Chains A and B, each alone.
Chain A
């Protein structure tokens, strides 16, 4: 398929008459590659969480959209993201998660890098026992660092390096949730889980953005959180999602609850909000915990969802944490048949991207519109010529 011909004009119409993105944007390998650049590399995409490298020297290799990356917490405690590739002969530097005690040594010819990416040794590069050479300028040969930013515990990366600073790109979202701009404590190993879903990553976003499906797919919520208790969150071109007015805290058998984040305004006594930070990070905030879901696209029809729960204190009740994890696991598992079903549905050749409820699907259409805008920007740029 010639992906440059996909017509996005219907997507960009007002919601009352708009269609969703055409099938190819969910099933076509060429369009997946196009979106990789236009949507994921050119913006601040979620990669992982800072809790993946909790201690100085921790190094975790990951593959993101076929790129070999290395997440490192350097000697000063900064989280960094590098290409996991030696500048000498392109060897993969770190194969498994491990602690870097001193330097990162390439297993091939032992070129060494500090945890902040500097090339600090090039053994025998000038001949046996001669470790410098005029032709090898170490200052130009440090690890290739990917621009990164940590927010709400998530490591965001801008692969192209062309996006505005994260604080500028997401200024209004940072302001909206400024009350949660305080230390978040990852709940530990039992507060992370992973779902592998057979769908395009965008379908997970689309489902997350709207509350329309809640009474049908999550009937357990009906008992206290009715559809009319929810509201849309819509910031055109930046983020979208939904909120609820009746969040109810999880309560243990002895009446125990998680401690609240400090100094929250009254709104958060009963409110909770669920927002997609475009493109691929799903966040939820509540008075007593937050969560982050990082969607890792593994191909046009496969996505890994990495889910992490955070609390307001380092020490919280372990039983309650386990129950909270289980509760969210159940909710997110209930969504799997939906996103996988929508994926299979997109192999129907006459499907036209579908329609949106003008009343209920605004946040989802907003995401479609944003994806289309990124593709149009990319297609109109000179470097888009292929």
Chain B
């Protein structure tokens, strides 16, 4: 690997009492790469994403983003640097419209939000930017609906949109297709293919078809530890991976 990694996780540890949720994890995400993280339920993937996004502190080890140590940095500062995440369980601003949801995310990176007097609705630029993103997401027809009125699949897309609107250099996607039907899953998959042109992606996903279609490299996590990293071909034939996770049907 001659390329400098965008994200460099070094020996990261997190334990909850006796349980080692993150067991000396080292992993690199390269620029422009889709790096998938797979593993059985309870392997510690979501904990790792929480540590990377700053919602969970780490016991030891380091997280480097573009060479900078961000291990102790607050969540919002990481987002400013270009490290954004989506959530496995949809977290939208339910009392906002779809447009307002995305506009708020854009507001975070444009201009000063300690502004108390001028109505945000007068900022045409925010609306234009938000609308153009909704067009890309295919949510434009729903722009003026409340987020709570969207169908589940559309909520999953908006969930993704909130993270994308921050213009990240690296997107952490925590099971973007969770709970979406086959049609929506296909939509999300195509969206991820489009997103990769703008940013690198660390993708956690249970849908193996999607993972093997999308990923440049795959890391396998079992019981808090990464047991293998490689190309989809390598992972498919990795004996430890087959034993621990994929099972015979995929071998």
| A and B are interacting partners | no
Give chain A's interface residues, CB within 8 Å of chain B. none
